Structure formats: C-alpha cells, structure tokens
Amino acid sequence: MKKNSNVLSLKYRPQSFDDLVGQEVISEALSNSIKLKKTPNAYLFTGIRGVGKTTIARIIAKSLNCTSTGNLCQRDYCENCKSIINSNHIDVLEMDAASKTGVDDVRDLIEFSKYPPNIAKYKIFIIDEVHMLSKQAFNALLKTLEEPPDYLKFIFATTEIKKIPVTIISRCQRYDLSRVKFEVLLDYLKTICNLENAKVNSEALKLIVKLSEGSVRDALSLLDRGLLSNENNELNLETAQNIFGFFDKSKILELIEEILKGNESRVKDIYKRIFEKGVEPKTFLNEFLEILYYIKNISSLKIDGNVFSLNDNEYKKINLISKNINIKEIFLFWHATLKVIEEINFVNNQNLSLEMFLIKLIYLKSIKIEESKIEKKKGIKYQDLDPEIKENKSINQIKKTTQEEISPEVDANEISEKNIIQSFDNLIKLCHEKKEMKLKYDLENNINLVSFKHGLIEIAFNEKLDKNFIKDLTNKLHIWTNSRWIISLSKEKGDLSSKDKKRLLELKVREEIKNSKIYEEIKSLYPDAELIDIIKEKDD
C-alpha cells in the first residue's frame, strides 16, 4: 500500500482513528462527528511535528469518502481509500503551504473548488503548515471558508497556531494535538519492536522516547536509525547513546558533584570525555538545565524512570546532591546556563566557551552571600534582586574577597553622582558622559516620558525600543546611584520624545528667524539665499 514501506514511520502510519497513538480524546470526537454527520466546513489541527496532524487529515478524508458499508474500511480498502492513502485521489488535494504561499496559489484552489467532486462524495483540501500562507492568501480564503459548498471541506494543519489570523481560526473547528506521553510512546515502540522482531532493550527505548520529545514520527525515525546502525545485534543503551550523539545523565551528575566540591581539574576532565563523544553544545546545556530542574524539585518527583526518564541510581544521586546545594545556588546556576545558551552561537570555539562556563560555576558556588549585609547596605533582600544582578554581585565578590563587606560594583565617585539624576534630561546627559550611547539613543528617540522621580520612571515607548532596554537601564541606574530603580510601563501616550521636542524647537526657531528683519534684509540682497542650518554660539 505504501511506497518505501521499509521505513517504519510510513509502514506503521495509522490508517484509522483506532490506530492513532496518544490522541484518544480527539479520535473519539472526530469519529463521532463523522458517524453523526455533523462535520464542520473546516478543521484546524495544531501541535508539534510528528503527532498526527496530516495523518488525521487523511483519515478524515477517507472516512468522509469511504464507500464501504458501516465504518471506515480496515483491510480490503475501497478505491477511494486506496487513492487517498497513496496521495493520488482526484478529489482530495494535499497542498504544502510552505512551497505555495502566494495569493495566486489560493485563488487557483478556490477556482478549483467551484466544481463538484468527480468520483467521491466530498472534495477535500488538506493544507499542511497553513501558517506559511501570506496575509493576502488568507484574506482570499475567508469567504470560501465561511460559506463553502456542501461538497467542500478544508483541513488545515500547523505547528505555529499563533501565526494564523484569528479570522481564519474562528471559521474552523480547532483541535490541539498534545505530545504523546512517555509511557504511551514507550509501549508503542515495544509493540513495533515485537512486530519487527527487533532486539532493543528497555533503556535504549527510553532514550529514544526522550529524544523524540513526544513525537511519534521522530520516535520511529530514531528507532529506524538505531536498528540500521546496529544490525543483527541487540540495541543497548550505550550503543544508542553513541549512535544518537547522546551521553549518560550520570556524567552531568558527576560534573555537578565536582563543581560543588570546587575541583576544577576533575571538572575539565569529565567535560573533555563528554566532548570527545561528539555531544552538541546545546544538547549538553539543555541536559544540564534538566538536571538542575530535577535537583530543585526532587522532593516532588516520583521514583519512576518511565515518567521522568531517571533510573533509580540517578534518582538517588540527585537526591544526595540536592542536600548539598541551596536554592539560591541552583537559581544562580540556572541563570548562568540560560545566558550561555543565548551566547553560544556567537562563539567560534563552543567547546572552550562551555569549559569556561563550568569553571565559572565553580567560583560562583564558592561565594557565600551574606544576606544581612546586603539588606543593611542596600535596604533590600537578596532574593528580591534580579538574577543577573545577583550574578554580577557574586562575580564582584570574587574580585574583592579581602573586603569585609559587600561593596557595590562602582567606585565612590560613581556613587556620589546619584544626586545629579534629578530629571529625565539629567539621565540622558549621564548616559552620554558614561558613553552608554545605546541607552542614550533609546531615551532620546524611542521613549515618551510620563513621569520621573528618583527611583521611579514611568514611560511609554514605540516598537523600535530595544528589547533589553529596561533591564540594561535598571542595572546601570543601580550601579550609578547605589539604589534600586523601577521602570514602569504606562498606557498613557506620555510626553514627546527628546528627539521630537528638539525637532519642534528647531522648527520654531527657524520660523522665528524667517520672520525676523535680518532675514528679510538678507533675502532682499540675495533672493536665492536659503536658511540651511542654525548654529548657536551660546547655550542661552
């Protein structure tokens, strides 16, 4: 029935609602609506890749057009079902919106929809990755989608529902397909292995399920790859880890243990062994985050490898680590890891960057933050600080370990300047003096001031404002003034931006000069003269 049936994802592609994996609720709802002949004009299926969106679309197409009596034919397929399975039915059109995004493609489709089906009961349009259609293409669909002829059905599939206009979504019956649960997918793979007489142990299957992230197609593709790479031998965990470029969680647990001990040479050695296995940097960092999550929440996790992909030894080790690390250190590690994930693509040698990241964690761990001193010095609690400020303070302590009290990141001269930030213009001037030109540019061009007082700035802004503006300005104000500032966003329009004010002032001065006697005298002597620029000799 299927071309290239040796590929597991095609060979075991569901052909009926009963075959679907992990989508029982949706399957029952769709099956009942077809039996009761209460089908919508358009369906919209959304979910991650490989959970059954296009497969369900084909099953619906077969169910609506199947000529067998009773339910959808299962083995001896009717001609309609055969053609739909093989993607060559004349009345069931499958379109990939990623390659046909334009309004002309949709207009052709709409024109084609005016003619009734040739051999089937319904003419069905299946549009995959529908979010890729252009705005004009969506607009062209609206009328037909709302009032299609009785013989016409639309079935849309997408992985990015937020990119689809609300006007389209409101005209469809929407179904959100969930990721397939760990246990369900694991049982399904065991069934496939039995059908294929494949030798795969339970731990290797668990790794495949984890890597698939709830996608049935990904799980089958990974299983296929594992079996082809390990022909005639049992696929065990170690072999699967080598095939998929993965590594054992115990290595990260060992890393964290050595970081907590402050053993730099041992940390380097463990990471080197992980790197030599060819592990992707982002895979390593995401696994690191996952372990931090488990350490933080170990008390609420079940000792169940099926649910959390942890075996008993890993659970015990995580439980032990959680007793030797406090919550602040976990969040400090978490924030540092997220920061590296953001920056890793900008580094040529990612291996060196990760090694330095791990060494940095050793020094962050070695710092003992004295909360009472921070409260006394700053008037705030440590846990209320932004994680990045916490990290900056920790690094600052590394530099000044001989000091008895925690000192701010700036010298006394900078702290003394806090009294000069008494207005918005003072702030812009200070940014200029400190050579913070990016902040200065945003303050002048993209900010509309609503109110200003020491410690609180209320603003409105335009869409050109840098996404990190509030965080960067807050941190700089904290450094410059030695006190905490709040940047509040307002729904009010606020004052004109500094740039707009300057422009209006220039226009006003220009008009005043053009209306002056000296300008009239110049124009009488030199009729072609034009006012090009105005240069002030004095501030007043």
Q: How do strand 42-46 and strand 152-158 relate by DSSP bridges?
A: parallel
Query: 267 and 322 in one domain?
Result: yes
**Inter-CA distances, 390 with 192, 350, 381, 394, 488, Å:** 50, 25, 11, 6, 21
Cα(414)–Cα(408) distance, integer angstroms: 10
Q: pLDDT category, 490, cuts 50, 70, 90?
A: confident
Phi then psi dihedrals of residue 148, to 5 deg: -80, 160
197 Ramachandran zone, left/alpha/beta (phi>0; psi -120 to 50): left
Q: How far apart are the first and last CA of the chain?
A: 88
Cα(158)–Cα(47) distance, integer angstroms: 7
pLDDT at 391: 47
User: What CATH number should be reported for the domain holding residue 271?
Assistant: 1.20.272.10
pLDDT at 42: 93
177-193 pLDDT, tens digit each? 999 998 999 999 999 99
pLDDT at 407: 37
Q: Which of 39, 89, 42 is nearest to 67 (CA)?
A: 89
Query: 386 and 355 in one domain?
Result: no
User: Per the domain annotation, does 498 fall within a domain?
Assistant: no
User: What CATH number should be reported for the domain holding residue 238?
Assistant: 1.10.8.60
User: What CATH number should be reported for the domain holding residue 461?
Assistant: 3.30.300
Q: pLDDT category, 536, cuts 50, 70, 90?
A: low
pLDDT at 382: 43
User: Does residue 410 register a pLDDT over 80?
Assistant: no
Query: 166 and 20 in one domain?
Result: yes
Cα(16)–Cα(63) distance, integer angstroms: 8
Q: How many domains does the chain have?
A: 5
Query: 355 and 282 in one domain?
Result: yes
Range of the domain at 422: 414-489
Q: Could you tell me which residue, 500 or 115, shows the higher pLDDT?
A: 115
pLDDT at 367: 55
Query: 359 and 387 in one domain?
Result: no
356-368 pLDDT, tens digit each? 999 989 887 665 4
DSSP string over 101-130: -SHHHHHHHHHHHTSPPSSSS-EEEEEETG
Cα(417)–Cα(482) distance, integer angstroms: 10
Q: Could you tell me which residue, 243 or 419, shows the higher pLDDT?
A: 243
49-68 pLDDT, tens digit each? 999 999 999 999 999 988 87
- The single-letter code of the amino acid at 247 is F
Which of 152-161, 395-404, 464-473 has the least mean pLDDT? Answer: 395-404
Q: 448, 465, 489 — which closes off a domain?
A: 489
pLDDT at 131: 92
DSSP string over 363-394: HHHT----HHHHHHHHSS-GGGS-HHHHHHHH
User: Per the domain annotation, does 208 fall within a domain?
Assistant: yes
CB distance 167 to 42 below 8 Å = no
| Token duo for residue 263 | 């053993």
Q: Which of 338, 333, 335, 339 is nearest to 358 (CA)?
A: 333
175, containing H or E segment: strand 173-176
Q: pLDDT category, 420, cuts 50, 70, 90?
A: low
Which of 69-73, 150-154, 528-532 has the least mean pLDDT? Answer: 69-73
pLDDT at 401: 34
278-326 pLDDT, tens digit each? 778 888 898 899 899 989 888 776 544 434 456 677 788 888 888 888 8
User: Per the domain annotation, does 121 fall within a domain?
Assistant: yes
pLDDT at 388: 47
User: Per the domain annotation, does 496 fall within a domain?
Assistant: no
Q: Mean pLDDT, the chain, as a whole number?
A: 81
Q: 148, 176, 204 — which closes off a domain?
A: 176
Residues 163-188 have a mean pLDDT of: 92
Q: Strand order in 173-176's β-sheet?
A: 92-96, 123-128, 152-158, 42-46, 173-176
Query: 157 and 99 in one domain?
Result: yes
Cα(430)–Cα(424) distance, integer angstroms: 10
User: Per the domain annotation, does 115 fall within a domain?
Assistant: yes
Q: 307, 339, 365 — which closes off a domain?
A: 365
User: Per the domain annotation, does 505 fall within a domain?
Assistant: no
pLDDT at 453: 83
| Token duo for residue 92 | 């069931």
Tell me the torsion sign for CA atoms 298, 214, 345, 436.
negative
Q: pLDDT category, 412, cuts 50, 70, 90?
A: very low
Query: 468 and 329 in one domain?
Result: no
Q: Which of 121, 133, 130 is nearest to 68 (CA)?
A: 121
User: Does residue 156 register a pLDDT over 90?
Assistant: yes
| Helices of type H across 434-531 | 437-445, 469-481, 498-514, 517-525
- Name the residue with tokens 């649910």: 307
Query: 309 and 160 in one domain?
Result: no
Which of 225-239, 372-386, 472-486 has the least mean pLDDT? Answer: 372-386
Which of 356-370, 372-386, 468-482 has the least mean pLDDT? Answer: 372-386
Q: Could you tell me which residue, 406 or 84, shows the higher pLDDT?
A: 84
Query: 357 and 291 in one domain?
Result: yes
Q: Could you tell me which residue, 455 or 138, shows the higher pLDDT?
A: 138
User: Does residue 73 register a pLDDT over 90?
Assistant: no
Q: Could you tell me which residue, 527 or 450, shows the higher pLDDT?
A: 450
Predicted TM-score (pTM) of this structure: 0.59
Q: Could you tell me which residue, 526 or 183, shows the higher pLDDT?
A: 183
Tell me the torsion sign for CA atoms 269, 274, 276, 281.
negative
User: Per the domain annotation, does 129 fall within a domain?
Assistant: yes
Q: What is the CB neighbour count within 10 angstroms for residue 504?
A: 11
Q: Could you tell me which residue, 506 or 126, shows the higher pLDDT?
A: 126
Q: Which of 216-225, 367-376, 493-502 has the highest mean pLDDT?
A: 216-225
Query: 108 and 67 in one domain?
Result: yes
Cα(456)–Cα(159) distance, integer angstroms: 42
Query: 258 and 146 in one domain?
Result: no
User: Per the domain annotation, does 394 fall within a domain?
Assistant: yes
